[in-house]
Amino acid sequence: MLIGARLRQLREQKQMSQGDIEERTGLLRCYISRVENGHTVPCLETLERFALVLDVPLYQLFISGEEAPSTPNLTPRQTLEEMMADNGDKGQDAQFLVKLRNLLTRLAGPDRDALLSLAKRLATR
């Protein structure tokens, strides 16, 4: 389904006119018409404005169903504590990060900012 057709479908489901969308988004009615008829492709910022006015999550502008699409290829994330249980390099790195996190929480704000500034400078080299 094209994005314009989906926007029109959602607008009509909410019983809104193009004029209502114009008032709430600040987009011109002729632009809204051009998008709905497939003559113009809106940028992401404009799509966010449409989603906000239509009171739907952004992903619903791209799918025709009501449920979020499944993401079967994502691997589960591990916490630092789970990584620490690993005996390899990954576990040692996680232990270092936990120690660093604990030390950074004890630093005062200006000291932490100075340390992070130094780290940024070193990372850019």
pLDDT at 8: 94
pLDDT at 7: 94
pLDDT at 33: 95
SS3 47: helix
What the chain holds in terms of domains, given with CATH numbers, is 3-61 (1.10.260.40), 80-124 (no CATH)
pLDDT at 46: 94
pLDDT at 30: 95
What's the whole-model pTM score? 0.55
DSSP codes of every residue in 2-25: -HHHHHHHHHHHTT--HHHHHHHH
DSSP label at residue 37: T
pLDDT at 87: 67
Kindly tell me the sign of the dihedral angle through the C-alpha atoms of 99, 105, 107, 112: positive
Tokens (6 digits) for 5: 């057709």
pLDDT tens, per residue, the chain with 125 residues: 589 999 999 999 999 999 999 999 999 999 999 999 999 999 999 999 999 999 998 888 888 776 766 777 777 777 777 777 776 777 777 788 888 888 888 888 888 888 888 888 888 87
pLDDT at 49: 94
